[in-house]
Amino acid sequence: MTSHQHPPEKMMFQLTLRRRGISDQAVLRTMEEVPREQFVDEADRDGAYRDSALPIACGQTISQPFVVAYMTEQLQLQKQHRVLEIGTGSGYQAAVLSRLAGQVLTVERYRRLADTARVRLEKLGCHNVEVMLGDGLNLPPNIGPFDRIIVTAAMEQIPENLIERLEVGGILIAPVGPHQGVQTLIRLTRSAAGIERKELVDVRFVPALPGVAREL
């Protein structure tokens, strides 16, 4: 359905991802299959497949396709993995994760975004995703551990209590840096010997804020 609606845009979308270095065929296929236009506001649907971030409700954004594909590729997902996402937003990243992993728990602080994402994901058949309204910076102790953790909002530093939820052999990806400005994507890999940290690429994300939003 999507490819009939947006053939030139979808072709450029895939070409752009490949040109920018995305090579994992499972990730490319998933990016092709998930209908991005279903996750943006109606007014932005004509531009859904451009390689740019777009505004969504509650002052948040849906990340540009390259960043979604890049972060997903860096997670090295397998079907048995249990994934935690901090920052559901539109639900687009969770939809991508759902096709590559076994289970996805995605946490959102805005009720409006959580409720809308839940409906979208259910409609698209992403039945292995649970959307939770909550504070991604202060999760309940009974949640976890996870094979993979992805943070889709800017953190000034990665909280220790998030790193502790990572299984041995697990990978965590998060944008780290000042809330206003440029962040660097950081990949943490947990081994029996400890945590290995690697800086990846510069990005811009909206801030990760504590607490559940009182409104919206």
- Chain segment 185-206, per-residue pLDDT in tens: 999 999 999 999 999 999 999 8
Residue 47 lies inside a defined structural domain of this protein: yes
- For residue 78, being part of any structural domain is answered with yes
pLDDT digits (tens, 9 = 90+) for 126-151: 999 999 999 988 898 888 799 999 99
Q: Would residue 184 count as lying in a domain?
A: yes
- Asked if residue 100 belongs to a domain, the reply is yes
In which domain, by residue range, is 100 found? 7-203
Number of residues in the chain: 216
Per cent of the chain over pLDDT 70 is 95
- CATH number for the domain spanning 39: value is 3.40.50.150
Contacts 24+ apart (CB under 8 A), 173-181: 173/71, 173/74, 173/75, 173/149, 173/200, 174/86, 174/149, 174/150, 175/151, 175/203, 175/205, 178/154, 179/154, 179/207, 180/207
- Residue 44 in any domain: the answer is yes
The reported pLDDT for the residue numbered 151 is 97
Q: pTM value?
A: 0.92
- Report the domain count for the chain: 1
Whole-number pLDDT of residue 2: 43
* Residues catalogued as catalytic: 63
Question: Is there a domain that residue 106 lies in?
Answer: yes
pLDDT tens digits for range 7-21: 577 888 999 999 999
pLDDT for position 7: 58
pLDDT score recorded for residue 216: 60
Predicted pLDDT of residue 210: 76
Residue 161 has pLDDT above 60, yes or no: yes
**AA identity, residue 74:** Q
Average pLDDT, the chain: 92
Q: Residue 3's pLDDT is what?
A: 42
How far is it, in rounded angstroms, from Cα 13 to Cα 140? 38
Q: What confidence tens digit (pLDDT) does each residue in 69-121 have?
A: 999 999 999 999 999 999 999 999 999 999 999 999 999 999 999 999 999 99
Neighbours of 191 (CB within 10 A): 10
Angstrom CA distances, 155 to 82, 87, 125, stand at 22, 11, 31
pLDDT at position 115 = 97
The answer to whether residue 5 scores a pLDDT higher than 90 is no
Does some domain include residue 110? yes
* Cα 97 from Cα 32, distance rounded (Å): 13
Task: Assess if residue 178 is contained within a domain.
Answer: yes
